[in-house]
Amino acid sequence: MAEAIRVEGLHKRYATVHALRGVDLAVARGEFFGLLGPNGAGKTTLIGILAGLVRPTAGRAAVMGHDVRRRWRQARRALGLVPQELVYDPFFTVREILWLQSGYFGLGRANRAWIEELLEVLNLTAKADANLHDLSGGMKRRVLIAQALVHRPPVVVLDEPTAGVDVELRQALWHFTRRLHAEGHTIVLTTHYLEEAEALCGRIAILHQGMLRALDTKAGLLARHPWRCLCLELDPPGAPLPEAVAALVSEREGGRVKLRLHRLNDQIGAVLDALRTAGLRIRDLRTEEPGLEEVFLELVHEAPAGEAAAAEREAG
Amino acid sequence: MNLRGLYTLFEKEVLRFLKVVVQTLLTPVATALLYLVIFGEVLAEHLEMYPGVGYGAFLVPGLVAMTLIQNAFANSSSSLIQSKMTGNLIFLLVAPISPLEFYLAFVAAAVVRGLMVGAGVWLVALAFVDLPLHSPALVLAFAVLGAAVLGGLGVIAGVWADKFEQLAAFQNFVVLPLSFLSGVFYSVHALPSPWDRLSWLNPFFYMIDGFRYGFLGVSDAPPLLSLGVSLAFLAAVSVVCLRMLAMGYKIRQ
Ligand SMILES: Nc1ncnc2c1ncn2[C@@H]1O[C@H](COP(=O)(O)OP(=O)(O)O)[C@@H](O)[C@H]1O
Ligand SMILES: [Mg+2]
């Protein structure tokens, strides 16, 4: 069975920007997939290619096994896109817009029951006959979601659906996308909020400057980050640290010391031994695992975090 | 073919102009009548374009044709530029609608708008002018052809233009001069040289001249020639337009 999404050697050059520089990616059916990256990373461009809005400069893309260029009708029927911008047609009411969108996909009156269901589920029934003009931003966002779902696409792509929305709507959107996922839809969510990807997504791809920097499960990404913190409370508080340990300090406040350890090169046992040999007592000990934030920053910043930390140490 | 998709897009384009009838139907009819009152009244006594045909009877078919083609153009071009500028064109671009379906839907809606406005001008003008109807079939054929050509040009202009000003430029420097210079107000035989001969290079001239023949049974050009030129013009506009849409020119990055 074909994957929900497959992308091979994808390049996109705009007039002056090389927005995608050879992206390879596959999303299996039923995944909740996160596409993470800072502004300008190329997320919207990648999604645009899947939806047929952007023409790739090189490479291929397919939705549910349908090439987006050669089998564009099938590919478009398989995809529901919730665009990043709050765009709408000011001439029509919510219900009219959904009827029209359904008609574009070749669906007739038989689909109207589904449209009513969508209005219901997305809490839009009360506003169904209102013009899009008169709806709040949150309502417009929900209309966009309904529009993406009128043709019951197996793959739903949401482009930064929670950018700039209030907490309540964000919770509602999370709930709704989880529900879609549970119903069997493949979900691709782009975001630049790490907590969102952490909370929702099974696998996460990190895109930066048009290149895929990482693609793994949340746990896999975290494991890849080689740093962890060892937080100690030492006695006596002001005593000098042995040289080997002093080199690892990232923060120190009296007896509280935070050490940054490399998973492979720095062993906790050796650190503790060195402290004991120097005559220091360890009153408390705790380790901190990194969040996706650290992983993300490390992948995205030019200088690897280790070097940056080393530079800081030298400067300080 | 996604026939339902095509029909839905056509329906949407028609609904769009029906939601603002004052602007899309009533105003153009009123403007055409203003022309009729001014030119018709002022010039009526002095001019006889064809033997036995008063100026009013000559002017009305020209005005109907001009209003019809200008509104057909306005319908597709303004709808497209609005969709592009507000960004809602993407809802159409993500749908399984082919360039041909896209083109046919926009052109058909432009034809409907053109015919409605044209019929409005004609019906109201009947109150002022005694107008024959030589061949209803030819009148309808030229009306549909003219509106389709301009509907197609409207799609081209709407896809090409990035701003309203560019669209206005297209309208002011292409559509308006060509329609004014095509014998709306006069018979091209009455023009001094070389304008009389240059008019024969203007495709709009044939659409309007043939349309007028449908009413009066007399015209500057033979009606079959007008029909042929108009059909060829439609074919050329369609080819250019379909090429642009298939390339995704300006609408798919
Ligand atoms: N239509 C366009 N024309 C030119 N450059 C573009 C266009 N769309 C996007 N870009 C550029 O391509 C890069 C990627 O943009 P985008 O895909 O929108 O990133 P993201 O969605 O991750 O923020 C950016 O540098 C952006 O400025
Ligand atoms: Mg984006």
Q: How confident is the model at residue B160 (pLDDT cuts 50, 70, 90)?
A: very high
The lowest-confidence range among A112-116, A306-310, B9-13, B152-156 is A306-310
Three-state SS for A29?
Answer: coil
Annotated domain spans of chain B: 3-247
pLDDT of residue A1: 66
Using the atom order of ligand 1, give the atom closest to the CA of residue A41. 22
Q: In this predicted structure, what is the pLDDT of residue A313?
A: 45
| pLDDT surpassing 50 at residue A314 | no
**Chain B residues within 8 A of A87 when measuring between CB atoms:** 86-88, 90-91
- Residue B94 has a pLDDT of 96
Share of chain B above pLDDT 70, in %: 96
Question: Which residues of chain B make contact with A51, given a CB cutoff of 8 A?
Answer: 90, 93-94
In B, residues 229-248, which contact A (CB 8 Å cutoff)?
Answer: 248
CB pairs under 8 A between A and B: 81
Q: In this model, does residue B119 exceed pLDDT 70? A: yes
Q: Are A186 and A34 in contact (CB under 8 A)?
A: no
Cβ contact B96–A106 (<8 Å): yes
Q: Give CA–CA dist B48/B52, Å, rounded.
A: 7
Structure confidence by residue, pLDDT tens digits, B133-143? 899 999 999 99
> pLDDT digit string (tens) for A242-300?
888 888 888 888 888 888 888 777 888 888 888 888 888 888 888 887 766 777 777 76
CA distances from B95 to A86, A107, A147, A251, B4 (A): 18, 11, 11, 55, 12
Coil, helix or strand at residue B130: coil
Residue A306, pLDDT > 60, answer: no
pLDDT at B104: 97
| C-alpha of residue A200 to centroid of ligand 2, in Å | 19
Could you tell me which residue, B175 or A75, shows the higher pLDDT?
A: A75
Q: How many helices (H) does chain B have, and how many strands (E)?
A: 13, 2
At A22-38, the pLDDT tens digits run 999 999 999 999 999 88
Instruction: Report the pLDDT value the prediction gives residue A303, as an integer from 0 to 100.
Output: 39
pLDDT band at B43 (very low <50, low <70, confident <90, very high): low
Q: Chain A: which residues have CB within 8 Å of chain B?
A: 14, 48, 51-55, 72-74, 76-77, 79, 81, 83, 85, 87-92, 96, 100-101, 103-108, 147
Res A238: pLDDT: 78
Give the range among A14-18, A302-306, B109-113, B244-248 with minimum mean pLDDT: A302-306
pLDDT value of position A68: 94
Buried b (16+ CB within 10 A) or exposed e, B59-93: bbbbbbbbbbbbbbbbbbbbbbbbbbeeebbbbbb
Lowest mean pLDDT among A138-142, A283-287, A306-310, B82-86: A306-310
Confidence of residue B195 (pLDDT cuts 50, 70, 90): confident
β-pair type (A66-67, A58-63): antiparallel
Higher pLDDT, B109 or A258: B109
The band of A308, judged by pLDDT with boundaries at 50, 70 and 90, is: very low
Bond prior to A236 in cis (omega within 30° of 0): yes
Residue B42 confidence (pLDDT): 67
Q: CA separation (Å) from A53 to A277, B2, B248?
A: 65, 19, 9
The candidate with the shortest Cα–Cα distance to B157, out of B61, B92, B244, B230, is: B244
User: Pocket around ligand 1: residues whose beta carbon is below 6 Å from it?
Assistant: A 14-15, 17, 19, 37, 39-45; B 253
* A93 contacts on B by Cβ (under 8 Å): none
pLDDT band at A311 (very low <50, low <70, confident <90, very high): very low
Phi/psi for B79 (5° steps) reads -60, -45
The mean per-residue pLDDT over the stretch A32-50 comes to 92
Does the pLDDT of residue A312 top 70, yes or no? no
CA distance A41 to chain B (A): 17
> Which of chain B's residues have a Cβ under 8 Å away from the Cβ of A74?
96
Q: Mean of the pLDDT values across residues B164-183?
A: 86
Give me the percent of chain A exceeding a pLDDT of 70: 93
Residue A305 confidence (pLDDT): 41
Find the A39 Cα to ligand 1 centroid distance in Å: 9
Q: What is the pLDDT of residue B175?
A: 86
Of A54, A96, A107, the CB nearest to B253: A54
User: What pLDDT is stored for residue B183 in this prediction?
Assistant: 78
Residue A103: strand pairing partners = none
Q: What is the pLDDT of residue A190?
A: 92
pLDDT, one tens digit per residue, over A97-121 is 999 999 999 998 889 999 999 999 8
**What value does the mean pLDDT of chain A take?**
86
